[in-house]
Chains A and B, each alone.
Chain A
Amino acid sequence: MTPRAARIGRNLLLLAASLLFLGYVLAPVAWLVSSSFQSESEITSKPPHWIPHQPTLKNFEAIFGAGERDVTYETRRKADPSSGGFIPSTAKNLLPAMWNSFIVAISVVVLNLLVSVPAAYAMAKIRFIGRQTSIYAMLVTRVIPDIALVVPFFLFIRKLGLLDHVGSLIITYLAITIPFSVFILVGYFESLPDELDKAARVDGCSRLQALLRVFLPLALPSLVAMILFAFLTSWNEFLLALMFTQTPASQTMPIVVASFTSDFTISFSFINAAGVLAVVPPVILAIVFERYIVSGLTAGAVKG
């Protein structure tokens, strides 16, 4: 085989593999997006229209305009089912739920920063007895499945009077995010030279000043990764939210979307529109901050 032929062969192989790769990863999402722009009558065609013949924004309008319309059993009955009139009365809950998700995620991120940054600095730069053990002990808390935490959390949250309140989620999400946050930051802080710490202290910085003025600016990549992980974990979390929230006052996006999927009368085109709204924020974050996410994920792996 000539080198030229070998190169062409390699390129063809890579192209085929890349197409398979893209198909596997993106085709399901593409179909979700495509069907969210179809009407009820189009979505029920056999075989399916892979690309909408008459794209419609109706499903998205139903979500964004849901607050103004009064959907009752009667108005729903009157709507023409074949044109996609099956908009659930709970459609108006989706935007407030996304807002709840956002509040929870931002609070979790802020609390994570306040708690994890000093802890990670201490673990990485201050010598104390049990330092190594404390890192492992912290990781072990993540081996416990969330489902095992549900019962004690429930009784605990009920005692605090936080059932059906976003506060319950903020508190419990700290348990599932902090260990990983500290882990990422410790790894990064350890990679920064100890001399920096000493130099800052000689120049008269307190520990806190050394942390804020010297280490934080340098640790920016790991901070970005940490913030993204805490945000995405909170935005996506389902099990605990399902247990602790009961009304739209505190329900988060995943709970409201899940409630659509379990209602057989709701058109899948509408459900898919809700699904698209649910995936847009995390997908944008993931693509924009790809580099930080990958380095954050692998930092753990290389050390572990």
Chain B
Amino acid sequence: MLFLAPMLVVLSVVAVFPVVYSFWISLFDLRLTRPRSVPFVWFDNYAQVFADPLFWTSVARTATFTVMAVAAIMVIATLMALLLNEEFRGRRILSAVLLVPWAIPYVADGLMWKWIYDSGYGALNGLLYQLDFIDKYMVWLGDTRKTLALIANAFVWKEVPLATILLLVTMKSIPADLYGAAKVDGANVWQRFVHVTLPALRPGFMLVMIYETMMAVRHFDLFFILTEGGPANASHVLAWDVYVETFRKLSFGTGAALAYLIALITFLLAFSIIRTMGKKL
């Protein structure tokens, strides 16, 4: 028991206590701009959050961002895992290189894509122009219709490696006999992929979906670095809303209430993914 003590102490102070305390704070009208009076307001903060139209639009944007990002991650990671599952010379180099996006900080990921998307001198414009896809440089992040998708792309690029590694382990655990049997039954490559690989990958897909959905819903870093919620609130997602409430408006009560709602949404999403995908297993 003595062995567990340090962990229990540390985790209760830095993980359990904040969660309880956070809920407690969310019941008070705590504003740093008015530190002397902190009235207890029951669930007023939650009511305020729900009454704010910006909250509902940020829920919609978070959902859009999450769906785009998770779908893209699943497709790209599946393709990459299929490649790494083959035996060929140079495979080891690919799997080492794959860790590069995973290892670098989100700040570096953000500045890198910000520079690529740059409307004046960015690589995206340069490349598309050289390939004759566009005849003049375009605005990317500044275009409200493209912002979310472009941020999602930067997110996907960094998250794909982990998803690939997780899918690859699942792929490696598929018994070779299954493919042999399918071959004997006359299934071609595509049929073997659809009828053997995909069903066997379901646990891997589920894991990746739950994890990446959780990561996407709460993601903050790229929204700060690439757009700061702009342009015209086009990337004002839930995590950004918490930041604005808490550290720009200094309204800790509503900030905590919002943060609690995000935690709740994450739980519900993870739960419903397990329920729906678990049933098909």
Residues of A within 8 A of B (CB): 11, 14, 17-18, 21-22, 24-26, 28-29, 31-32, 35, 43-48, 114-116, 118-119, 121-123, 126, 128, 134, 138, 141, 143-156, 171-172, 174-175, 178-179, 182, 207, 211, 232, 235-236, 238-239, 242-243, 253-254, 257-258, 260-262, 268, 271-272, 274-275, 278-279, 282-283, 285-287, 290, 293-294, 297-298, 301-302, 304
Contact = CB atoms under 8 A, between A and B. Distances in A.
B276 interface: no
B18 A143 contact: no
Nearest to B118: A268
Given A147-B220, A301-B170, 13 more contacts: A18-B83, A18-B88, A26-B100, A29-B104, A32-B115, A47-B129, A149-B19, A151-B255, A207-B3, A236-B107, A278-B104, A283-B100, A286-B99
Contacts of B3: 118-119, 121-122, 126, 207, 211
A200 B173 CA distance: 35
A282 B170 CA distance: 26
Nearest to A294: B165
A119 B98 CA distance: 32
A25 B6 contact: no
B239 interface: yes
Contacts of A156: 17-18, 21
Interface in B56-98: 76, 79-80, 83, 86, 88, 90, 94-98
Contacts of A152: 17-19, 21-22, 25, 256
A146 B218 contact: yes
Contacts, number: 260
Nearest to A207: B3
Contacts of A235: 105
8 contacts: A14-B83, A21-B80, A32-B111, A122-B4, A147-B262, A155-B21, A175-B15, A258-B224
Interface in B4-33: 4, 6-8, 10-11, 14-19, 21-22, 25
Contact of B225 (A22, A258, A298, A302): A258
B11 A257 contact: no
A41 to B, nearest CB: 11
B111 to A, nearest CB: 5
A294 B169 CA distance: 10
B123 interface: yes
